[in-house]
Amino acid sequence: MEWGKQLERRSLLRAAGVMGVGAAGLALGGRDMFWPGAAEAEAEAGAGALAGDGFDAEPYVDPSLRPFLGAFPPREVGRVYTFDWVREKRGVPADPSAPLPPGPWRAVKVPVPGGREPVTIYVVNERKGRSRGGIVHMHGGGYLFGSARNSLAGLAETARALDCTLVTVEYRLAPETTYEGSREDTYAALTWLYRNAAQVGVDPARIALLGESAGGGHAALLAITARDRGEVPVAFQCLVYPMLDDRVGAVIQRPRQMGVYVWTPEENVLGWRSFLGREPGLPDQSDGVPGRVRDVAGLPPAWIGVGGVDLFLDEDVDYGQRLLDAGIGCEIVVTPGAYHAFDLIAAKSDLARQFTASKMAALARALG
| Interatomic CA distance for residues 225 and 267, integer angstroms | 26
The reply to whether 310 belongs to the active site is yes
pLDDT of residue 180: 97
pLDDT of residue 97: 65
Alpha-carbon torsion 202, 208, 213, 215, what sign?
Answer: positive
Residue 60's φ and ψ, nearest 5 degrees, are: -80, -15
Q: List the chain pLDDT tens, one digit each, 368 residues.
A: 333 333 344 444 444 443 333 333 333 333 333 333 344 433 343 333 344 457 899 999 999 999 999 999 999 998 999 988 898 888 755 566 667 777 789 999 999 998 899 999 999 999 999 999 999 999 999 999 999 999 999 999 999 999 999 999 999 999 999 999 999 999 999 999 999 999 999 999 999 999 999 999 999 999 999 999 999 999 999 999 999 999 999 999 999 999 999 999 999 999 999 999 999 999 999 999 999 999 999 999 999 999 999 999 999 999 999 999 999 999 999 999 999 999 999 999 999 999 999 999 999 999 99
pLDDT of residue 368: 94
The reply to whether 213 belongs to the active site is yes
Give the active site residue among 147, 151, 213, 358. 213
Domains of the chain (ranges; CATH) run 105-367 (3.40.50.1820)
pLDDT of residue 103: 74
Give the active site residue among 185, 203, 246, 310. 310
pLDDT of residue 44: 40
Give the active site residue among 137, 139, 218, 340. 340
Q: Provide the β-strand partners of residue 107.
A: 122
Report whether 296 contacts 306 (CB < 8 A).
no
User: Cα 74 vs. chain centroid, distance in angstroms?
Assistant: 21
